[in-house]
Structure 1
Amino acid sequence: MKEFNAKLLLFGEYGLMYGAKALAIPFSRFKGKLVFSENLSDQTIGESRLELERFVSFFEHERLNEQMNFPLNLSQIKKDMAAGLFLKSDIPLQYGVGSSGMLCAAVYHRYSGYQDSLGAQRAKKNLLGILKEDFSVMEAYFHGKSSGFDPLVSFVNRPVLLAGKEIHLPAQSLKTPGFNVFLIDTKIKSSTAPLVRLFMQKMEQADFSTAFKSRFLPTNDLAIQAFLTGDKDELFHQVRALSSFQLNYLQEMIPEAFQKVWHHLRDQEIIVKLLGSGGGGFLLAFVPEGRMMPAELECIQVF
């Protein structure tokens, strides 16, 4: 069966809920797919099957197929699960790299009616919007509320730019002239839902809400524009501002052990920001050409 890649949300964390632009890319370092196995006693396989069972049960109980443009064939999923279906994946869980989005993309690809009417759907200008709507319904199982953005990136397997209600597909191969981008592994798992709730509580505070809307949102959008146009100097200017805002206003989302690392790398002109909701998982590091990531940090190069 088809493999689906992890995703990285480069820009748009939290701001996505308030109309900010968001840019995400597929990340082929981690991936997953639906497979069949006869060795159902394997613990890893058992955990995967249990997650699928819960997903299907949730979908049935909440009658979510009624909200889908292309409903899932739940009876076929259950038949295939009885025959040994499970999700094989090396995407780290609770790391902010789209493990739930990949599952949604894989299930949708095999079990929705989308494929049966693909030719007709391609003619529609809002095809990506239709897919995003369905993925929003599906990923609600994992996060309570979802934009559907993560599964969409895994499903189309190319960079996706969200700008309000518009969805764009930038160049397949994004360039990073004069700099590199790395993931820093915090070795800490983190669940998205509690952090989103914390953020929403912070937005109820007038000072924070004003600062977020007047400073973070426009800076986020300018950073995306600079990234897509390859303007390194402008990008680093804006990412530095995002990084400072997160350190000052979203400190709870940054693992305590890495707040010193955040400052230390900044002194070396390496800018760190949250990847997704934060709390652990990976952090993003923007590294000027000629600079090296410290050897003591476990890192993965993205660009």
Structure 2
Amino acid sequence: MPNLRDIKRRISSVQSTRQITRTMEMVATAKIKKAQERIESARPYALSMMEVLGNVARYVQGATHPLLEEHPEQKRIAIISLTSDRGLCGAFNANILRLTEELMRKAASEGAEADVIAVGKKALSYLKYRGVQPVAEYRDISDKPTYAHARDIAARIIAAYSEGRIDAAYVVFNRFKNVAEQKAEVHQLLPIERKVVDVDEEPLGPRPEYLFEPSPAAVLEKLLPTYVETLVYRALLESAASEQGARRVAMKSATDNAGEIITTLTRSYNRARQASITNEIAEIVGGAAALEES
């Protein structure tokens, strides 16, 4: 049975850990609010982009663009894996890496190779540990992504797809549902789905009129790369919010577990202390009785 000093030292250690996890929980809670605000502020832009693409597509019947064309055979794909730069966020990174490996195995089974773009130190370290060298890596942007980061990532895959160096591009990220729930998902970035520009029905009510310079086709050609950038940026924002949500849940669980451990150790300390006191009393009474007999 451990002595009182060992139990007391362990209680002190767990209390220090609980203080750290509680602080990290509070920090993650504050960051979640900011991340949610960024997602909400970006949502109108994304919806407007979809609306503008649909409206422009009405003036460009049978639109063609390299980003819309499906390659007849997939020999190489690109996978953008969005993880965090720091740990202590539960299964946040593990789910992304699992889906990334599943995509890589599926590509290999179909005779294709996979180029991975690692976003976050966790993806980078894991892939290198597995012997996979990412074609591009981004660090220290997981919690504060900017549109410039999204533009740089999108430019890589757009150029590679347009030049025929890759035949498809996917992004693996955690979608932020709420503070307590995040879901790992895979979205196809390239080729752009034809339904984005194909318009089956005319809009109800007034129809917006556009004046194009130089032409509707030229405007659509500029909008499609911007659309891909918007998708990447949205995924980065979703991942940033999900990271803080997962960290908050993980740190709250750790704080609660630390509290339970402290309660259990305190009971053990009290029992050990009571047993020590009882033993001392018994020794004193036994010594007094021996003196009386003598």
**TM-score, normalised relative to structure 2:** 0.26
Comparing both structures, which one devotes a greater share of its residues to strand?
1
RCO comparison, higher one (Cα < 8 Å, 6+) = 2
- Greater Rg, structure 1 or structure 2? 2
**Bigger share in helix:** 2
The two structures have a TM-score, normalised by structure 1, of: 0.25
